[in-house]
Copies of this chain bind each other. A is one copy, B any other.
Amino acid sequence: MFKKRLFTPGPTPVPESILLKMAQPIIHHRNPEFKEIFAELNKNIKYLFQTENDVFTLTSSGTGAMEASVANVIDENEKAIFVNGGKFGERWGQLIKTFGGIPIEVKKNWGEPPTTDEIVELIKANPDVKAIYLTHSETSSGTVTDVKEIAKAVHEISDALIIVDGITSVGAIELKMDEWDLDIVLTGSQKGLMIPPGLAFIAVSERAWKKINQTENRTFYLSLKKAKKALESGDTPWTPAITLVIGANEALKMIKNEGIENIWQRHFRLAEGIRIGVKALGLNLLSKNPSNAITAVLMPEGIEFKKFNETLKYEFGITVAGGQENYKGKLFRISHLGYYDELDMISMISALEFTLKKVGYKFEPASGVSAIQNYFLLNL
């Protein structure tokens, strides 16, 4: 017997009940049976995003929804600000460039979120900027950006749109699209939504529609105008990933049942438990403003990542994510995203201790497990 446990920030574990639901015989996407499911999804996905705006379902990875947020919004030679504090923030810049926009970069060290002031200053220097592209929870560094405060400050001085990559934040971290006055928010299916990858969801405000309607169409498959027209008759413009839509609908019922505030609280508790556990073992976090979706832990001095990771995976069955780009081999990342509870996080710290012992890292035995256990006991 060898049990495997996934602690990666996408894919995240899929509830067994959803796996079995998706394994039912396939139905046609123009059948009334599917249309009912899609209508229910379209209602409940608004709850997830905390919005009354339409949320569109794309058959793509999260990057496809990022592309939709640029290709439908930024015309050639229009300016857009983006924050590059990690691999996914950097991607906004690549997309703006691909579609002929002028990217204005806010460069941050990995683990440091942008400040509201630096964005406000940039807008004052570039009053013709059309949109600010933010990463709510930067998956590569486990860092959260205060999109609420930034949106408020930007809307006071500018018409620029606030466009938020919520790929690892939606369904994990507090995010209220309408209350915070965000213009576009997007996520992927294999994150807080707890289903396999292959779908992306994108919510679009009235303010964003005004800009989209003035912008030349530079995508066909990811056209938001086509998605909107199709949604008016409860449809998608192209054949959707039917089984994943069925899975997403099931997941959204679970989310509604638990309550979004409770889910945000649960993610905070699980992430806080992990942070307390790893710190008790003498390990350090990369982030100065850690995300409750994912914790990036720096590799301890003298321990080789490859050996650590293989021990964790092949001896103790746990898959975590490694570091990306400059942080390759220098950190590991533990996901709290989606279908996890306290006991999963205890298992994670327990296996981390097993692994650290095997690779020769010195620590007080059971100090990590005690710390996270005590934290959970105090927060029952």
Q: Is A25 in contact with B10, judged by CB distance below 8 angstroms?
A: no
- In the bound complex, residues from chain B placing their C-beta under 8 Å from that of A240 are 61, 197-198
Q: Do the beta carbons of A60 and B29 come within 8 Å of each other? A: no
Report B-chain residues with C-beta under 8 Å of the C-beta of A28: 6, 8, 11, 319
The answer to the question of A262 belonging to the interface, with a C-beta cut-off of 8 Å to chain B, is no
The residues of B that contact A95 with a CB separation of less than 8 Å are: 220
Interface string of A6-29 (1 = CB under 8 A from B): 101011011000011011111111
Chain B residues with CB below 8 A from A66, complex form: 221
A65 (CB) vs chain B CBs: closest residue: B221
A62 CB-CB contact with B under 8 Å: yes
CA of A282 to CA of B13 in the docked complex: distance in angstroms?
Answer: 54
Is there an interface contact between B25 and A239, defined as CB atoms closer than 8 Å?
Answer: no
Question: Which residues of A from 63 to 77 have beta carbons under 8 Å from B?
Answer: 63-64, 66-67
Does the CB pair B319–A197 fall under 8 Å?
A: no
Residues of B within 8 A of A98 (CB): 217-220
Q: From B19, B67, B190, give the contact of A220 (CB < 8 A).
A: B67
B residues near A27, Cβ cutoff 8 Å: 4, 6, 11
| Chain A 284-297 per-residue mask, 1 if CB under 8 angstroms from chain B, else 0 | 00000000000000
- With A25-B13, A222-B221 already in contact, the answer to whether A241 and B197 are too (CB < 8 A) is yes
Would A239 and B14 count as touching, CB distance under 8 A? no
A64: chain B residues at CB < 8 Å are 59-60, 221, 238
Residues in B whose Cβ lies below 8 Å from that of A22? 22-23, 243
When the two chains form their complex, are residues A25 and B19 in contact, meaning their CB atoms are under 8 A apart?
A: yes
Mark A29-46 against chain B: 1 for CB-CB distance below 8 A, else 0. 101000000000000000
Is A102 part of the binding interface, using a Cβ–Cβ cutoff of 8 Å?
A: no
The answer to whether B23 and A67 touch across the interface, beta carbons within 8 angstroms, is no
> What per-residue 1/0 map shows which CB atoms of A142-178 lie under 8 Å from chain B?
0000000000000000000000000000000000000
- Contact mask for chain A residues 213-240; partner B; CB cutoff 8 A; 1 contact, 0 none: 0000111111000000000000001111
Q: Is the CB of A60 within 8 A of B59?
A: yes
Whether B19 and A63, one on each chain, are in contact in the complex, defined by CB atoms closer than 8 angstroms, is: no
- Interface status of A188 (Cβ within 8 A of chain B): yes
A129 within 8 Å of B (CB atoms): no
What CA separation (Å) do A27 and B62 show in the bound complex?
Answer: 18
Question: A114 contacts the other chain (Cβ, under 8 Å)?
Answer: no
Nearest B residue to A320 via CB reads B28
Q: Judging by beta carbons under 8 Å apart, are A23 and B20 in contact?
A: yes
Closest to A241 in B: B198
CB distance from A340 to the nearest CB of B (A): 14
> Which residues of the partner chain B approach A244 to less than 8 Å between Cβ atoms?
196, 198, 241
B23 near A221: Cβ-Cβ < 8 Å: no
Across the interface, do B243 and A196 meet the contact criterion of CB distance under 8 Å? yes
| A296 → B minimal CB distance (Å) | 16
Query: Contacts of A109 on B, CB cut-off 8 Å?
Result: none
Is A359 an interface position by the 8 A CB rule?
no
Q: Are A4 and B25 in contact (CB under 8 A)?
A: yes
Q: A221-B63, A221-B222 are in contact. Are A196 and B238 (CB under 8 A)?
A: no
CA distance A278 to B22 in the complex (A): 35
Known: A11-B27, A66-B221, A243-B243. 15 other contacts (CB 8 A): A4-B27, A6-B26, A6-B27, A6-B28, A13-B25, A13-B26, A14-B25, A26-B190, A59-B60, A63-B220, A63-B221, A95-B220, A196-B241, A196-B242, A241-B241
Closest 3 pairs between A and B when the two form their complex, measured CB to CB: A198-B241, A23-B23, A61-B238
A-B pairs with beta carbons under 8 Å apart, 8 shown: A6-B25, A8-B28, A19-B26, A22-B23, A64-B238, A98-B218, A198-B242, A241-B241
